[in-house]
Every structure is written in structure tokens, then in C-alpha cells.
Amino acid sequence: MTPPALEFDVLLSLLGGGFVAAFLHAALPTHWLPFVLVGRAQHWSLGRTLAAVATAGLAHIGTTAVLGGLIVAAGLALDQFVTGLMPALSAMLLLGFGVFYLVRAAVRRPAPLAANGATLELSEPTVSHAAAFWGLVVMLAVSPGEVLLPIYMSSAHEGLGALGLLTAAFALGTVMGMAVFTTLARAGASALRLERWARYEGAVLGVALIGLGLLVFMHQH
């Protein structure tokens, strides 16, 4: 049997990797650009914009956790018949997603961003503040973070406590990442070249996911 200390170390590594993966995933322009654009159009303060960011980020992770829980439950049921299925499958999925993001980053040319970080123009507000706020929340709530699902599977045997901690790490990484990039873009930090970060985000996320996949794979051997 694997010593408990090693299990704890692996769990900490997964939590740290989950936080990093969530933070990097939150760097996708779809996770912060709409908040910048809508916030400007609605003339929101930074506080109100970040409130929308936090609410939408938590909703995003909430739906991811629900879907992840269903996948984990199904996987554990199958794991009773095929020993070791969950860790092997999660490692393969993490490696697969990592390779996918690396390849996509190499062949895909992202849409150019304007100097202020915008890719589209918004007219004067035509909806209420509440409609704009909850529209942003629903936008992310209906799109679970698919790249985070294999990480749930990799810690399925650690119990509900570990899954809860992993969800907390996802939520922290997602909200922090969205808040950081939204704040920088809102401040017009063009000197930081956010558009260039968006170009390399896929590659960095791919490397992080491959690293997590290798960690899970090595833990099983």
C-alpha cells in the first residue's frame, strides 16, 4: 500500500495543479472580456464588475462540479468491474486535453484584439443592470469547464472531502484568474500585452494539463 504521507502529498499536488489549471483556464478571453465590455457599456464601477465576475465564476464551477460529480459516480461504478479504470482514464484524458491545447495553440491564429483589449463593439446600454449582470452569470453557468473534469476523476478515490477541496481550489483559481484579467483589461493595461497572453494561454494550459496527467500516471506505477 502507498504510505498515507505520499497520498497526502499527491492530494496536495492535485489541489495545486487544479488551482493552476483553473487560473489558466480563466485567462481565456471568454472568461473576462465580456465582463470588461459589458461593464463599460453599463458604466459599472470596478466593484460591480468584479461582483459579476465572482458570481459568474462560482456558477461556472458549480455546474462543473455537478457534471464532474456525475462523471465520477459513473466512473466509480465502472471501476468496480474494471480495476484501476478511473486513474488510468483520468490520466489519459488529462494528457489528451493537454496535447489538444498544445496543437490548437500551434495551428490556430486567434482573432486580433484591439488596443483596448476588445474584439467587438457595444452600443449604449439597452438592457437593465440586472439583466446584464445575470446574463453574464448564465453565460458561464451553462458552459462547464471541460478541462477540469479529468482532474475530478483523478481524485475520485480520495473521497467526498477531497472532491470538495478540489472544487474549492477550482473556484479560487477561476475567480482569482477572472478578477485579475478583468481588472487589468478594464484598467487599459495594454502595456501588459493581454492579447499576447491570450495567444499563449492555450500552450501554457496544455503543458499544465500534461504535467497533471503525468503526475496521476506516475502515482499509479
pLDDT category, 171, cuts 50, 70, 90? very high
Among residues 191, 198, 150, 163, the alpha carbon closest in space to that of 177 is found at 198
Reported as a single tens digit per residue, the pLDDT across 128-140 is 888 889 988 988 8
Domain holding 9, by residue range, is 4-219
C-alpha 218/C-alpha 153 separation (Å) is 15
Helix-, strand-, coil-residue percentages of the chain, each rounded to 5 = 80, 0, 20
Structural domain tally of the chain? 1
The pLDDT, as a whole number, for residue 206 is: 73
At which residue does the C-alpha cell 484584439 appear? 113
Buried b (16+ CB within 10 A) or exposed e, 119-136: eeeeeeeeeeeeebbbeb
C-alpha 219/C-alpha 158 separation (Å) is 13
Q: Is the pLDDT of residue 177 over 90?
A: yes
Q: Where are the alpha helices (DSSP H) in 81-193?
A: 85-107, 129-141, 149-154, 160-186
Q: Is the pLDDT of residue 172 over 60?
A: yes
pLDDT category, 86, cuts 50, 70, 90? low
Highest mean pLDDT among 35-49, 63-77, 105-119: 35-49
The pLDDT, as a whole number, for residue 58 is: 96
The chain-wide mean pLDDT, for the chain, equals: 75
